[in-house]
């Protein structure tokens, strides 16, 4: 079994799987059980300032969307930060950390946007001997309206300012958690770095309405006939999170800034994908909320098996491995020509590739009387739609050899050439 | 009555009274909402779906399953009923393993089809429970059609004709409508009086006048000429009312009867415990009727039930699924054997069989013989057309029809088991009744 020990901004944990700041980490009882189940670390549910805690709604706070067999694909919530008193949380954090010195324990914070508030809470957190803090600049609902959470996270200047205060008033490692509710994630990441953040974590949840009650005509979850946008997370957000992680990893200004990857991590494979795109570790919320703490066991066994297969001995060998292969569209090789090919022995003749290609793509699949489906190379643009809709994965993309002629275009497959030099590009830098 | 399974002869009450209830309960209990949702999720929504092709009534299976999965089972039922107004009965009795489910692409990928039959039942039960008939009649055409036989073919034809705006008179020789749905189908396939409930629901369309205890060509009832005089068109859906004989000496001994008679009696019995059944039952034949007679004999408490078929199991008209059903109920299936003699004094005691083999001119008897003890014998070697109006051309023992059900006589159509196009399947009878109705409509309206 590969060694999964992980070190993230100097914080050690037995594996790179942390629980994200959320209900699973809202109290000692949960966190102890999470550690017993094998989680490498936790980010404690976000703490607010001293004083009366926030209150949550007393009706439903989650909405969801589902795939086949009611598999939960996306979850949305209108929950706020912890609604338990600060002292209780701090006492519990201290007690847990004392008993689990080998696990990472990070404290998530969200206090009003003034230096004194931050200074005050940091001193209290330090006493717990937690391993670090995460600044919650992400929550899209409830707290934003009070000038916190994503209200800060959407303004790079604020991020930089608050991060700087935190680094000034504390010796603890500082992770800045970013909101995805912004058009370009690189701005907030650069600001966090400029403020002295040791790392960024992302994504927090995405503004969303998951569904509408068609009898009451109100968004769900519905509270007394009304609903509000909530934060979206779970498997459905992974593609968005992956892109944002990659954007930061390959940005000249932020390259090398440690990243804790969050958003839809459900299996070892998701975790590995985040790590190859530059995440040093991952955080998980929805998967644990859907299936319980035990899911980490599959993540641990799956990642070790994969690392063994690849001959990696340390998770750091995985981190960022795919980053050099993330590029901009204009650098993609236009002379990479493939054709779909249906493996007839495996085909179950459902005809979904035919419907997809015939109705919505390039009419490149032929269907015979007896339901044999074949690709017409002279029509196939290699879009991959048939591959995606095939329920049994019997369609492959076959690359055409250099020098062969693409029957669709009549052109010979040549060497690497991209859009920047393409004759159709008005601003092509002709290689004359 | 103190009879047990060991009692010799044909006697009632072999089992504890409660056993009859459990033995004849729904063989495939309905899916609950949760089960239906999970089952529906397995459908791939195939293009030009093979299941739809395999359904004799061409129900749009992927569409109705998608409608179930989006929480609209009544819309699903409508999709079904548009093609097959007896979709409820078909969901219960169709040998789906050889029809839609046999064609399901999941058979290729994992050997387990989408449960189309069960899902069809879920949808149709949901809508029928509302007692709300989903169709309305087109403006009246002023034409009237006689439908002879209220089995699946006649019911489907009558419903479609009424829906198209014609007036229908539905004649049947029995005192209850439904045909073999009422008198033939195994009782555990459609328990709870479903056949009658379905007919009652179906005729809610309106425009159908039922005439019971009316037999074509029977004195006092009427003949084809009378019907043609009173109506613009006639549809014959009379099924098969005769049975093939064994042509053996002693065939008339006590204890020997057609399986269909036994089943009809069973279907109409109000108290199954009072229905006499043999201790050693022998069923001769290899189709659905043979299997149903054998299984239901077992369920009534017969000790030994043997089903003897003259060819191999692979050639049996009963599907593999049906055969397994018989085997799991303790029926012994003996293949490649044909009856050669019936022994007994007054009542049957034994049936003697010879093993068969394939010869150059078809099946031939070998010298190897054996005897089976029997106090009751059911003949299930095929049914035949009963009396048919003389002018209607018959081919191969069945009424000759063209692709849309037209017979040799002008203004007379036919469909279902009584035609050479019938396949001894409820669903085929429905398809032919419906298609003939469409053609009748076409002819009546356009000349
Ligand atoms: C025991 C048994 C089990 C079966 N099980 C199945 C099964 O599980 N699944 C399946 O798909 N199929 C099964 N079948 C076959 C199926 O029942 C028939 O294919 C189907 O009922 C044929 O429909 P039909 O309308 O053509 O004829 P029928 O159902 O036979 O209806 C004919 C109607 O015409 C009436 N009639 C007859 N003669 C006259 C007359 N002279 N005048 C007036 N009315 C008349 C009869 O009273 C009857 O109501 C089974 C058949 C039998 C015998
Ligand atoms: C109910 C709920 C409450 C959450 N509360 C917080 C919070 O207090 N602080 C925070 O930083 N993130 C919070 N999050 C966001 C998660 O930590 C995480 O960033 C997000 O759910 C994406 O990860 P996932 O797809 O694994 O769930 C919350 C998420 C959920 C579902
Ligand atoms: S890759 Fe696209 S164009 Fe080619 S066959 Fe598949 S769906 Fe059609």
| Span B68-125, pLDDT tens digits | 998 999 999 999 999 999 999 999 999 999 999 999 999 999 999 999 999 999 999 9
CATH class of the region A330-431: alpha beta
List all residues 6 or more positions away from B134 whose beta carbon is below 8 Å from its beta carbon. Answer: B74, B77, B78, B81, B127
Q: How far is the centre of ligand 2, averaged over its atoms, from the C-alpha of A76 (Å)?
A: 9
Residues of B in contact with A371 (CB under 8 A): 48, 50
pTM of the complete model: 0.88
Q: How far is A367 from chain B (nearest CA, A)?
A: 10
What is the pLDDT at residue B422?
86
Task: Express each pLDDT in A307-338 by its tens digit.
Answer: 999 999 999 999 999 999 999 999 999 999 99
Closest ligand by atom to A396 CA: 3
A285 alpha carbon – ligand 2 mean position (Å): 6
CA distance linking residue B47 with residue A124, whole number of Å: 64
Query: Stretch B371-385: mean pLDDT, rounded?
Result: 95
> Residue B1 has what pLDDT?
54
Cross-chain residue pair A350–B105, CB shorter than 8 Å? yes
- Torsion angle of C-alpha atoms A24, A26, A28, A34, degrees rounded to 10: 10
**Distance in angstroms (rounded) separating the CA atoms of residues B427 and B89:** 9
Q: Where are the domains of chain A?
A: 6-325, 330-431
Q: What angle do CA A14, A19, A20 make, to 5 degrees?
A: 135
* Ligand 2 and A20: CB distance under 6 A: yes
B400 CA: distance to closest CA in chain A (Å): 30
- Tell me how far the alpha carbon of residue A64 is from its chain's centroid: 18
The residues, ordered by sequence, that sit 6+ positions from B436 with a Cβ below 8 Å of its Cβ are B157, B235, B404, B405, B406, B413, B414, B415
Q: Once rounded to an integer, what is the mean pLDDT over residues B118-142?
A: 95
What's the pLDDT score for residue A152? 85
Q: State the pLDDT at residue B2.
A: 81
Domains A6-325 and A330-431 share a fold: no
Cβ A351–B109 below 8 Å, yes or no? Answer: no
Which residues of A fall below an 8 Å CB-CB distance to B?
68-70, 348-352, 354-355, 367, 371, 391-392
Domains of chain B by start residue, with CATH: 33-129 (1.10.1060.10), 144-241+385-446 (3.50.50.60), 243-379 (3.50.50.60)
The burial class, CB within 10 Å (0-12 / 13-18 / 19+), for A99 is: exposed
Q: Ligand 1 pocket, B216 CB below 6 A?
A: yes
In angstroms, how far is CA B145 from the centroid of its own chain?
Answer: 25
pLDDT of residue A432: 46
Cα–Cα dist B93/B292, whole Å: 12
* Mutation for A interface: B41, B47, B61, B72, most A CBs within 10 A: B47
Centroid of ligand 1 to alpha carbon of B413 (angstroms): 17
Q: Could you tell me the distance, in angstroms and rounded to a whole number, from the CA of residue A391 to the centre of ligand 2? A: 32
Task: Determine the atom of ligand 3 nearest the C-alpha atom of A387.
Answer: 6
Cα B154 from Cα B134, distance rounded (Å) = 20
User: φ, ψ for residue B250 (rounded to 5)?
Assistant: 90, 5
User: What homologous superfamily does CATH list for A6-325?
Assistant: Aldolase class I (3.20.20.70)
**pLDDT per residue of chain A (432 residues) written in tens, 0 to 9:** 789 999 999 999 999 999 999 999 999 999 999 999 999 999 999 999 998 999 999 999 999 999 988 999 999 999 999 999 999 999 999 999 999 999 999 999 999 889 999 999 999 999 999 999 999 987 666 667 777 777 888 999 999 999 999 999 999 999 999 999 999 999 999 999 999 999 999 999 999 999 999 999 999 999 999 999 999 999 999 999 999 999 999 999 999 999 999 999 999 999 999 999 999 999 999 999 999 999 999 999 999 999 999 999 999 999 999 999 999 999 999 999 999 999 999 999 999 999 999 999 999 999 999 999 999 999 999 999 999 999 999 999 999 999 999 999 999 999 999 999 999 999 886 554
Interface probe for B, chosen from A71, A350, A366 (most Cβ of B below 10 Å), is A350
H-only helix segments in A170-294: 186-194, 238-249, 268-276, 286-291
Residue B435 in this model has a pLDDT that exceeds 80: yes
Q: Are A198 and A174 in contact (CB under 8 A)?
A: yes
Just list the catalytic residues of A. Answer: 139
């Amino acid at each position: 079994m590969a060694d999964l020990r992980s070190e993230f901004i100097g914080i050690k944990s037995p594996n790179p799987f942390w629980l994200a700041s959320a209900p699973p980490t809202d109290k000692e009882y949960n966190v102890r059980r999470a550690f017993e189940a094998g989680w490498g670390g936790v980010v404690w549910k976000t703490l607010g300032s001293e004083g009366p805690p926030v209150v949550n709604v007393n009706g439903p706070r989650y909405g969801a969307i589902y795939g086949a067999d009611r598999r939960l694909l996306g979850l949305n919530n209108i929950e706020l930060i912890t609604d338990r008193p600060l002292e209780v949380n701090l006492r519990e954090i201290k007690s847990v950390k004392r008993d689990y010195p080998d696990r990472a324990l990070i404290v998530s914070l969200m206090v009003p946007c003034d230096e004194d508030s931050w200074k005050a809470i940091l001193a209290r957190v330090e006493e717990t001997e937690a391993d670090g803090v995460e600044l919650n600049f992400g929550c899209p609902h409830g707290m934003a309206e009070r000038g916190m959470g994503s209200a800060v996270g959407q303004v790079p200047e604020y991020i930089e300012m608050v991060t700087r205060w935190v680094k000034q008033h504390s010796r603890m490692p500082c992770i800045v958690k970013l909101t995805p509710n912004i058009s370009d994630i690189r701005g907030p990441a650069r600001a966090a770095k400029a403020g002295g953040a040791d790392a960024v974590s992302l994504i927090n949840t995405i503004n969303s309405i998951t569904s509408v009650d068609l009898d009451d005509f109100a968004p769900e979850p519905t509270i007394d006939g009304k609903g509000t946008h909530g934060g979206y997370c779970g498997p459905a957000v992974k593609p968005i999170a992956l892109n944002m992680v990659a954007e930061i990893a390959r940005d000249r200004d932020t390259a090398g800034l440690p990243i804790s990857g969050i958003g839809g991590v459900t299996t070892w494979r998701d975790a590995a994908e985040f790590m190859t795109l530059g995440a040093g570790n991952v955080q998980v919320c929805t998967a644990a909320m859907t299936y319980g703490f035990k899911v980490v066991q599959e993540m641990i066994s799956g990642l070790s098996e994969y690392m063994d297969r690849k001959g990696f001995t340390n998770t750091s060998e995985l981190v960022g491995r795919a980053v050099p292969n993330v590029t901009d569209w204009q650098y993609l090789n236009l002379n990479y020509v493939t054709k779909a090919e249906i493996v007839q022995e495996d085909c179950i003749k459902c005809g979904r590739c035919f419907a997809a290609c015939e109705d919505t793509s390039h009419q490149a699949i032929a269907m015979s009387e007896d339901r044999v489906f074949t690709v017409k190379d002279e029509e196939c643009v290699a879009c991959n739609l048939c591959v995606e809709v095939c329920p049994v994965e019997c369609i492959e993309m076959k690359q055409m050899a250099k020098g062969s002629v693409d029957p669709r275009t009549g052109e010979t497959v040549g060497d690497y050439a991209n859009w920047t030099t393409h004759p159709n590009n008005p601003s092509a830098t002709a290689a004359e | 009555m103190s009879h047990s399974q060991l009692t010799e002869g044909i006697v009632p009450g072999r089992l504890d009274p409660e056993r009859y209830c459990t033995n004849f309960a729904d063989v495939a209990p309905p899916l609950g909402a949760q089960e239906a949702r999970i089952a529906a999720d397995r459908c791939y929504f195939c293009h030009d779906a093979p299941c739809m092709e395999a359904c004799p009534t061409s129900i749009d299976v992927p569409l109705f399953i998608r409608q179930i999965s989006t929480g609209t089972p009544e819309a699903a039922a409508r999709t079904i009923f548009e093609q097959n107004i007896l979709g409820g009965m078909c969901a219960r009795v169709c040998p789906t393993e050889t029809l839609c489910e046999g064609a399901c692409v999941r058979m290729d990928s994992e050997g387990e089809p989408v449960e189309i039959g069960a899902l069809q039942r879920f949808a149709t039960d949901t809508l029928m429970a509302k007692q709300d008939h989903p169709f309305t009649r087109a403006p009246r055409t002023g034409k009237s059609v006689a439908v002879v036989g209220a089995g699946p073919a006649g019911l489907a034809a009558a419903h479609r004709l009424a829906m198209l705006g014609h007036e229908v008179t539905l004649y049947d020789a029995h005192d209850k409508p439904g045909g073999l749905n009422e008198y033939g189908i195994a009782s555990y396939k459609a328990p709870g009086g479903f056949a009658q409930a379905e007919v009652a629901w179906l005729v809610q369309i309106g425009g159908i006048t039922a005439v019971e205890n009316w037999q074509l060509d029977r004195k006092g009832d009427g003949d084809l000429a009378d019907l043609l005089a009173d109506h613009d068109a006639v549809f014959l859906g009379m099924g098969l009312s005769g049975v093939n004989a064994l042509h053996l000496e002693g065939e008339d001994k006590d204890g020997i009867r057609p399986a269909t008679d036994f089943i009809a009696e069973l279907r109409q019995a109000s108290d199954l415990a009072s229905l006499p059944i043999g201790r050693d039952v022998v069923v001769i034949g290899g189709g659905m009727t043979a299997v149903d007679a054998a299984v239901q004999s077992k369920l009534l408490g017969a000790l030994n039930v043997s089903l003897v078929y003259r060819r191999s199991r692979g050639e049996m008209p009963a599907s593999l699924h049906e055969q397994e059903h018989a085997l799991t109920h303790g029926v012994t299936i003996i293949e490649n054997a044909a009856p050669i003699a019936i022994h007994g004094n007054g009542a049957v005691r034994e049936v003697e069989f010879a093993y068969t083999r394939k010869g150059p001119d078809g099946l031939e008897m070998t010298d190897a013989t054996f005897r089976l003890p029997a106090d009751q014998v059911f003949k299930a070697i095929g049914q035949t057309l009963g009396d048919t109006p003389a002018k209607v051309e018959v081919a191969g023992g069945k009424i000759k029809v063209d692709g849309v059900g037209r017979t040799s006589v002008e203004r007379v159509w036919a469909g279902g088991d009584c035609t050479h196009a019938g396949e001894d399947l409820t669903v085929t009878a429905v398809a032919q009744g419906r298609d003939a109705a469409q053609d009748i409509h076409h002819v009546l309206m356009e000349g």
